[in-house]
């Protein structure tokens, strides 16, 4: 009933625990015969090493922690999948924790992971996080930490990101190129770096094209999320306040879908009366009517890359070699669909 131990194998074979351990790990000072005997018995008894004992000695848990704002989210789901599948290749297990976009929770989750002695931590910041003590604490404890997507520029660790500003610039430029004269922006929440960068890309594109930047055309969300309803509400507001707007660059596909749904309801024709570009290339954006022009954000690849980088740092840490943080930028692409003219 209870799991088999080395000791039990040793007793059955009348040899020492040491030899059993060595035999299973192919040490050179165990005779082929003994090795064969041990391995055979271990197999029939279905022996698996007690990971706690192993890790207590070896100091590595073969486990990493992942903290994300929200599990129920198309982009993060893909990131999770990328991380898990890559981690599996190296024999790593992933513990997933949610911050629910709350700084307090995020802090607590990190402490939990630290006390569980994970080998490294992967994190995408909560929108509410403006203080980075908890992250610096991780770094000071010399535990590998990699941030992805929603990062903090001030924290000294590796980061996997996309060039939000560039992508937003391209998105906005596309609106301009297809004839939009007055372009609004649904910016999402205030704080997170990618909101900021996307906003900056939008603004830069306007100015580079000699267009006026009007702060009144930038719509913030009420709360720290990007929801369908935010899209509906902001679309309704925009429709009332700025009837002359003929293009919107929207922070996220989910919000874009909300907006489109509201415009459909209001009878506003897309893209004839108003063009829309979203962000993230969520599956649904290719399905809804009209299909949405958007920026493809590679969630799965980001997850893979994030784990690979973390793994690299874990290995370096284990071998006591110093390693300097890397910023890895993943490519994005504009996906042209029906919500913009051509």
Euclidean distance between CA atoms 256 and 293, whole angstroms:
10
CB closer to DNA out of 47 and 263: 47
Q: Where are the alpha helices (DSSP H) in 155-223?
A: 164-177, 193-208
Q: How many CB atoms lie within 10 A of CB 62?
A: 16
Contact 113, 124 (CB under 8 A): no
**Six token digits for residue 170:** 């391209």
81 binds, among DNA, a second copy, none (CB under 5 to 8 A by kind): a second copy
**Six token digits for residue 99:** 């911050």
Q: Give the interface segment with DNA, choosing from 14-22, 74-82, 197-205, 266-274 (CB under 7 A).
A: 14-22
For the bound state, the minimum distance from the C-beta of residue 87 to DNA, rounded and expressed in Å, comes to: 20
Rg (CA), the chain: 26
333 SS3 class: strand
Q: Count the helix, strand and coil residues of the chain and give each as a percent rounded to the nearest 5.
A: 45, 15, 40
CB closer to a second copy out of 12 and 55: 55
For the bound state, the minimum distance from the C-beta of residue 302 to a second copy, rounded and expressed in Å, comes to: 13
Residues in contact with a second copy by CB under 8 A are 1, 3, 48-53, 55-56, 61, 63, 71-74, 77-78, 80-81, 84-85, 88, 93-98, 111-112, 114-117, 141-142, 228, 257-258, 261, 264, 283-284, 287-289
Among 1, 11, 46, 53, binds DNA (CB under 7 A): 53
According to CB under 7 A, which residues from 19 to 38 bind DNA?
A: 19, 21-22, 24-25, 29-34
Euclidean distance between CA atoms 130 and 108, whole angstroms:
15
For the bound state, the minimum distance from the C-beta of residue 8 to DNA, rounded and expressed in Å, comes to: 8
95 binds, among DNA, a second copy, none (CB under 5 to 8 A by kind): a second copy
Q: Give the interface segment with DNA, choosing from 3-11, 87-95, 308-316, 320-328 (CB under 7 A).
A: 3-11
**Six token digits for residue 67:** 């903290």
Q: Work out whether 45 is an interface residue with DNA (CB under 7 A).
A: no
Output the DSSP codes for 60-77: --SEEEEEES-SS-HHHH
Q: Where are the beta strands (DSSP E) in the chain?
A: 63-68, 93-98, 120-123, 145-148, 158-162, 183-188, 218-220, 247-250, 275-277, 294-296, 327-330, 333-335
For the bound state, the minimum distance from the C-beta of residue 20 to DNA, rounded and expressed in Å, comes to: 7
Q: Work out whether 216 is an interface residue with DNA (CB under 7 A).
A: no
For the bound state, the minimum distance from the C-beta of residue 199 to a second copy, rounded and expressed in Å, comes to: 26
Residue at token pair 């110093």: 322
* Number of residues binding to DNA, judged by CB under 7 A: 30
According to CB under 7 A, which residues from 64 to 123 bind DNA?
A: none
Which has the closest alpha carbon to 260: 252, 21, 102, 63? 252
Q: Where are the alpha helices (DSSP H) in 121-274?
A: 133-140, 164-177, 193-208, 228-241, 253-266
CB closer to a second copy out of 200 and 323: 323
For the bound state, the minimum distance from the C-beta of residue 141 to DNA, rounded and expressed in Å, comes to: 13
CB closer to a second copy out of 77 and 136: 77
Name the site residues for DNA (rule: CB under 7 A). Answer: 2-7, 14-19, 21-22, 24-25, 29-34, 47, 49-50, 53-54, 56-58
């Amino acid at each position: 009933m209870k799991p088999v131990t080395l000791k039990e194998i040793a007793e059955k074979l009348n040899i020492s625990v040491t030899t059993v351990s060595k035999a299973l790990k192919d040490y050179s000072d165990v005779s082929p015969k003994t090795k064969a005997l041990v391995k055979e018995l271990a197999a029939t008894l279905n022996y698996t090493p007690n990971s706690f004992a192993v890790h207590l000695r070896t100091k590595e848990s073969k486990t990493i922690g992942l903290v994300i704002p929200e599990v129920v989210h198309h982009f993060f789901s893909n990131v999770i999948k990328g991380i898990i599948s890559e981690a599996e290749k190296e024999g790593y297990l992933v513990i997933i924790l949610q911050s629910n976009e709350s700084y307090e929770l995020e802090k607590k989750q990190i402490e939990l992971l630290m006390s569980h002695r994970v080998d490294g931590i992967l994190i995408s910041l909560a929108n509410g996080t403006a203080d980075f003590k908890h992250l610096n604490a991780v770094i000071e404890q010399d535990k590998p930490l990699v941030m992805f997507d929603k990062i903090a520029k001030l924290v000294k660790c590796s980061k996997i990101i996309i060039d939000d500003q560039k992508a937003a610039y391209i998105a906005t430029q596309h609106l301009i190129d297809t004839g939009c004269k007055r372009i609004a922006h649904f910016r999402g929440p205030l704080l997170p770096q990618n909101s900021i960068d996307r906003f900056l890309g939008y603004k830069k594109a306007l100015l580079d094209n000699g267009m006026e930047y009007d702060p009144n055309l930038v719509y913030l969300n009420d709360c720290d999320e990007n929801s369908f309803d935010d899209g509906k509400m902001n679309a309704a507001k925009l429709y009332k306040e700025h009837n002359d707007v003929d293009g919107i660059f929207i922070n996220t596909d989910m919000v874009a879908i909300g907006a489109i749904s509201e415009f459909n309801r209001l009878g506003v024709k897309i893209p004839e009366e108003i063009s829309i570009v979203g962000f993230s290339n969520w599956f649904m954006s290719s399905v809804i009517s009209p299909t949405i022009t958007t920026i493809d954000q590679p969630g799965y690849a980001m997850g893979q890359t994030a784990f690979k980088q973390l793994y690299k740092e874990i290995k370096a840490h284990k071998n006591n070699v110093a390693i300097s943080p890397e910023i890895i930028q993943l490519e994005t692409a504009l996906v042209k669909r029906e919500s913009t003219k051509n």
